[in-house]
Structures are given as structure tokens and as C-alpha cells.
Amino acid sequence: MTTELISLELEPRTVLGKKVKQLRRAGTIPVHLYGPGVESRPLQCENRQLLRALAQAGSTNPVTLSIKGEAGESLAFAREIQWSPIRSQLLHVDFLAVSATERITAQVPINLVGESPGARETGGSVAQTLYSLEVEALPLEIPDEVVIDLSVLVDTNSAVRAGDLPLEGNVTMLTDPEAMVVRVDAGRQALGRQEEAGDAPEAEASPAESDGEATPEAE
């Protein structure tokens, strides 16, 4: 769960449009703040401070925003982060302001830890098919992540579904509880043993073989 509040100070921005390239060259990133009850406005922030806050917050932790020279604070999530595809440089960030007392929806990442005995013994692998859970909670109660210990996957029949994942506090899961999250994908060696263990079907005798007589040719 979120235990540490992340704070970030922004500044009013007057440079708009294509001129924001000048800001980026000077190490300043254009930012936009919007949301219910908040005046939608252009802002800016020093590049290193913004990168540090984004790294700490990730996609599930809110950031407490203040504006230089102004009173008050806003609780917000980084919702759209634009990067340069060529130089991997930060270009722009949109912050969505939220109320600390109103529940919101969020995507919480699913992380795997440990090793699966079932995958190890069969020479197979762990197949993850769901990488995040959709949840509803107050902004400060959204989990940072959901962790699955792979030691629960003890054989080829083992699997973890969304409904098996525990959520603390007043967090409600919106993902289908039956959605598959992770399972053991058996290796070829294990599949070969399963085929050998099965009974091969016996070939049915033809009428000619059962009677011991040749089948007459059709006229």
C-alpha cells in the first residue's frame, strides 16, 4: 500500500505551442493539470525533479502537487506521459487531479516472485496471461502492486486466477474473478510421459481378418 506521499512543485507556464521546445532545451518539461474541481491549466517542472517523482509514483501512487507562488495543493495521478521515440527524453506529462475522499479505478500491476515446483519438475515454464488487475479504491489506498508467490504452482494442474489474489482494506477488484493470471505450461518431457501413460487404442479387426476368409470382390 502507499505509505509515503510524493510531493512535486510545479510552476505556471506561459510558453505554449511549438515554443515549448525552448523549455525542453533549458531542462524544463511542459505539464498540464486537469480534473474535476480543478482549473485546467498549463504548467511546467524541472526535468530531473519530474522524472524522480514519476519514478516514485509509478501508475498507482498519487502525487501531491503545489504551484509556486500559490496556496493550496492538489492530489493527482500521472495519466499521460509522452516520450521522444528517438532519444527517450521526457516531452510532456498530464496530471489528473482527484479527490482523496472519492473512490477511483486503477490498473495495479501483477508481479511474480519465487519459483514454481511444477514448472521445474516437468521441465516446463510459467505462463502469465494477465499482467494487471483493475481495482476500485480511494486514491491513497490503491496497492502499489499485487504479488504472486510461484511456489503455489506445485504441478501441471496448478493455476492462479484473479479471484485468488488477496486485496487489503477497502479495495474492490473489478477484473473478472475467473480470469486466468498464471499457470504451469508443461514441457515436452512431461507431455511425453502423459502420452505413454495413456492406453493406445486397439486396432479393430476387419471382417476378413475375423472370419479368416477373403472378402469377395464386388461384381
pLDDT above 50: residue 200 = no
The total domain count for the chain is 2
Output the nine-digit C-alpha cell for 49: 525533479
pLDDT value of position 188: 55
Q: Does residue 123 share a domain with residue 180?
A: yes
Phi and psi, residue 151, nearest 5°: -65, -15
Is 32 or 2 the better-scoring residue by pLDDT? 32
Phi and psi, residue 75, nearest 5°: -95, 125
The Cβ of residue 7 has, within 10 Å, a number of other Cβ atoms equal to 12
Q: Which residues are bridge partners to 194 per DSSP?
A: none
pLDDT value of position 213: 44
CA distance 100 to 94: 19
CATH code of the domain in which 182 resides: 2.170.120.20
pLDDT tens string 115-162: 999 999 888 899 999 999 999 999 999 999 999 999 999 998 899 999
CATH code of the domain in which 54 resides: 2.40.240.10
pLDDT above 90: residue 168 = no
Of 62, 84, 81, 60, the residue nearest 73 (C-alpha): 62
CA distance 24 to 47: 8
pLDDT value of position 187: 64
CA distance 14 to 28: 13
Q: Does residue 72 share a domain with residue 13?
A: yes
Contacts of residue 34, Cβ cutoff 8 Å, sequence gap at least 6: 40, 94, 95, 96, 97
Maximum CA extent, the chain: 106
Q: How confident is the model at residue 181 (pLDDT cuts 50, 70, 90)?
A: very high
Confirm whether 28 is domain-assigned. Answer: yes
Q: How confident is the model at residue 102 (pLDDT cuts 50, 70, 90)?
A: very high
Confirm whether 209 is domain-assigned. Answer: no
Model confidence, pTM? 0.73
The residue segments making up the domain with residue 24 are: 6-98
pLDDT tens string 11-70: 999 988 888 999 999 999 999 999 988 889 999 999 999 999 999 998 899 999 999 999
pLDDT tens string 9-23: 999 999 888 889 999
